[in-house]
Structure 1
Amino acid sequence: MKIVTVIGARPQFVKAAAVSRVLRKSHEEILVHTGQHYDKNMSDIFFEELRIPRPDINLGVGSGTHAKQTAEMMVGLENVLLEEKPEYLMVYGDTNSTLAGALAAGKLNIPIVHVEAGLRSYNMRMPEEQNRVLTDRISSLLLCPTDTAVDNLKKEGILEGVFNIGDVMCDAVLYYSKLLDNMPREYYFSHLVGLFQPIPLLDSWYMATIHRAENTSSLETVKEILKAFNGLDAPVIFPVHPRTKEIIKILTKDENYHNVLFVEPVSYLDMLFFVREAKKVVTDSGGLQKEAYILQTPCVTVREQTEWIETLKGNQNVLATPQVEDIIDKVLNTVADNGKRELYYGNGDAAKKLCDIIGNNIK
């Protein structure tokens, strides 16, 4: 059986790698990278270090408005699908690449497999929410990471082809985290490239990422978040997203954020290390909240809501507004109850379940 898998950003490569290791034992897979995100960290070392299959096809779409980007992807993907004639098209998560792949396949009556189906923030202002809702509506197999995701689909009247397989990102985290202790702490710190200063070897730190539009579209909002980081009791390692870099340069001209270590984006393995060893994670990333939970590192999420509501139980993850006092309070004064931890995202066998379901539902 032939499956075309569509991905467009580095996190999706990591998820797809977890599945491809199992899928390619029994099926033919054509891996298509839309080029939605060009990531300079996706060099030879990225593929070699993580043992990730390289894309068979790269559409090279690049950045642009949502409409332009999605339209160009659909044209390229339609050509691929007409040429390859797969039994299934598989997409991950909630990017523009996900929606473009689903729409292109749907128009050609090719069954769609949506991995990470059923996630909801119930905030339709988010492009990601629009993408995931629309993709779910036209998918044939909806492979959910949690019971909550299954319930979300049930509320929307989507009952057929729905399966809880666990989270393929959990597969990846558990697989790659076993590699972390092969290298000393100094190895990971040697990879940190400071934007403004050399990065010292630390014994204690917080790990932070901030990139969503609601937190980065305003200088004042970013300033509030950085002031909060400045007030914490340990240095904050802050890999700067390209969307945030120009704002950071502007703000650091007038302010000295002495407690914030601004660094270039880090590799996936390095990120796992710094998250696993951090006092806490502070982020607005959906994926990083979940990775922190799996790695048993408490998290503060600078957002109004989260798709991963299971992480909120026992204060393993708490929501904060982008304001100095609230972020500092949540980081310093929230205590996680480890007794409330559960295996919400599976035990690392989601990819096997996915392959079994596809094999049993061949159209």
Structure 2
Amino acid sequence: MKAAAIVGARPQFVKAGMLSRALRRHMEEIIIHTGQHYDANMSAVFFEQLSLPHPEYELQAGSDTHARQTARMLMELEEILVKEKPDFVLVFGDTNSTLAGSLAAAKLHIPIAHVEAGLRSYNRRMPEEINRVVTDHLSTVLFCPTGTAVGNLKKEGITRHTYMVGDVMCDAVLAYKDVALRQSSVLERLGLVPGSYYLATIHRAENTDNPEHMRAILRALHQLDRPVLVPLHPRTKKCLEKFGLLPLLDGEKLHVMEPLRYLDMLACISQASVVLTDSGGVQKEAYMLHIPCVTMRSETEWVETVAHGGNVLAGADSQRIVAAVEQFKQPVSFRNLFGDGKTADQIAEILMTISPDL
């Protein structure tokens, strides 16, 4: 058997890094890197730190409008899949790389396995929501991280070859959290001690493309009572430059830095007092590491984290963001929502078992 794994963004490298090991014990695998994330700290470093095999193909799609970026990937992926003739295509999450991989495979009648299927924010203004809905309806096998995700698919009539397996990112967090703490020196370089700071990441288009949202979020960060680490996404920096908002990053409270390497990011999340983010992946990583999270969006696809008290939705509202952080001065009881660290093995075993029927 041959699998083609299509990746292009930070969370996908993490998931593929864990799954690739399990798959390669049973089958041939090729990795296609679309180049959607091209910054070294958001791309190449993941292959190094997670020992992810070097991609057989690198498309260098880069940054562009959704249509242009997806179209460029789609054209090149079609050529590769025709040449390689995989038995199935693996796609991860909800990025443009996921959509392009799913469309290319579906048009060529190649079975699609979607890892992290069934998520819904029910906000169709989010490009990620469009990507995951389309991908789920094109997929042959759907690997869901939670029971809620399975239920979302059932509401849409998708029940065949749907499996609740847990979250592959949980495999990575459990495997690397201690390594990260031993190896990372970020806090030492900044003169910070564990629990004495907040960590904030901002990259969603609903925030970065809206100057009022960005003003409100940055105003809130300046109002917090502790230093704030801000690993700055390249796209966020471009938007701040475009709107003339870069000066809002100045101030002794904010420690603005380049995107962190995976192990550094894991260490910084695990030692933060509270995480503030609009990222789906960082919401999960915070919960898995038992760190309270304030989500700077009006909805989340990870509804379980909110239901169990580890995550608060604050939108892009300064007062709500600050109040949500204050709320977490009270301890939070975290539950095991995302699996036991063996999701990758489960996925590999299921694919080996059902592949003759695909």
Deviation at 1:217, TM superposition (A): 1.7
Aligned residue for 2:203, secondary structure, equals coil
**Which residue of the partner structure matches residue 343 of structure 1?**
336
Deviations 1:165-195, CA, capped at 9 Å, x for gaps = 1000111111111312323x6x2236x7xxx
Q: Percent of pairs identical after alignment?
A: 51
CA contact 1:315–1:336 (8 Å) conserved in 2: no
Task: Work out which of the residue numbers 290, 293, 296 in structure 2 matches 1:299.
Answer: 293
CA contact 1:315–1:334 (8 Å) conserved in 2: no
CA contact 2:90–2:115 (8 Å) conserved in 1: yes
**Which residue of the partner structure matches residue 86 of structure 2?**
86
Deviation at 1:136, TM superposition (A): 0.5
Letter in 2 for 1:288: V
Task: Work out which of the residue numbers 222, 240, 244 in structure 1 matches 2:232.
Answer: 240
CA contact 1:19–1:168 (8 Å) conserved in 2: yes
CA contact 1:315–1:337 (8 Å) conserved in 2: no
Deviation at 1:258, TM superposition (A): 2.7
Letter in 2 for 1:137: H
Deviation at 1:37, TM superposition (A): 1.9
Task: Work out which of the residue numbers 187, 203, 214 in structure 2 matches 1:189.
Answer: 187
**Which residue of the partner structure matches residue 230 of structure 1?**
222
Q: Distance in 1 between matches of 2:247 and 2:332?
A: 41
CA contact 2:14–2:46 (8 Å) conserved in 1: no
Change in 2 beyond 3 A, CA 1:182/1:227:
same
Deviation at 1:230, TM superposition (A): 1.1
**Which residue of the partner structure matches residue 169 of structure 1?**
169
Letter in 2 for 1:232: L
The range that moved more, 73-82 or 152-161, is 73-82
Q: What is the TM-score when the length of structure 2 is the normalising length? A: 0.94
The range that moved more, 47-56 or 329-338, is 329-338
Deviation at 1:45, TM superposition (A): 5.0
- Equivalent positions of 1:267-346 (< 5 A) are 267-334=261-328, 338-339=332-333, 341-346=334-339
Deviation at 1:17, TM superposition (A): 0.5
Q: Distance in 2 between matches of 1:96 and 1:175?
A: 28
Q: Distance in 1 between matches of 2:294 and 2:310?
A: 8
CA contact 1:316–1:336 (8 Å) conserved in 2: no
**Which residue of the partner structure matches residue 53 of structure 1?**
53
**Which residue of the partner structure matches residue 346 of structure 2?**
353
**Which residue of the partner structure matches residue 137 of structure 2?**
137
Deviations 1:287-330, CA, capped at 9 Å, x for gaps = 00000000000000011100001101342100002122111111
Deviation at 1:337, TM superposition (A): 5.6
Q: Distance in 1 between matches of 2:55 and 2:105?
A: 19
**Which residue of the partner structure matches residue 210 of structure 2?**
218
CA contact 1:171–1:350 (8 Å) conserved in 2: yes
Aligned residue for 2:282, secondary structure, equals helix
Letter in 1 for 2:220: A
Q: Distance in 2 between matches of 1:254 and 1:265?
A: 18
Aligned residue for 1:332, secondary structure, equals helix
Aligned residue for 1:113, secondary structure, equals strand
Q: Count how many residue pairs are aligned between Structure 1 and Structure 2.
A: 353
**Which residue of the partner structure matches residue 7 of structure 2?**
7
CA contact 1:314–1:336 (8 Å) conserved in 2: no
The runs of 5 or more residues in structure 1 that have no matched partner are 193-198
Letter in 2 for 1:303: R
Change in 2 beyond 3 A, CA 1:248/1:262:
farther
Deviation at 1:85, TM superposition (A): 0.9
Q: Distance in 1 between matches of 2:248 and 2:71?
A: 41
Change in 2 beyond 3 A, CA 1:32/1:46:
same
CA contact 1:226–1:260 (8 Å) conserved in 2: no
Q: Distance in 2 between matches of 1:116 and 1:269?
A: 22
Output the aligned Cα RMSD.
1.8
- Equivalent positions of 1:15-164 (< 5 A) are 15-41=15-41, 45-164=45-164
Deviations 1:56-76, CA, capped at 9 Å, x for gaps = 111122222211211121111
Change in 2 beyond 3 A, CA 1:44/1:362:
closer
Aligned residue for 1:75, secondary structure, equals helix
Deviation at 1:43, TM superposition (A): 7.1
CA contact 1:12–1:92 (8 Å) conserved in 2: yes
Q: Distance in 1 between matches of 2:46 and 2:339?
A: 26
Deviation at 1:251, TM superposition (A): 3.0
Q: What is the TM-score when the length of structure 1 is the normalising length? A: 0.92
Change in 2 beyond 3 A, CA 1:45/1:318:
closer
Q: Distance in 1 between matches of 2:252 and 2:324?
A: 21
Change in 2 beyond 3 A, CA 1:122/1:23:
same
Deviation at 1:342, TM superposition (A): 2.2
The range that moved more, 212-221 or 274-283, is 212-221
Change in 2 beyond 3 A, CA 1:50/1:255:
closer
Change in 2 beyond 3 A, CA 1:255/1:211:
closer
Q: Distance in 2 between matches of 1:241 and 1:312?
A: 25
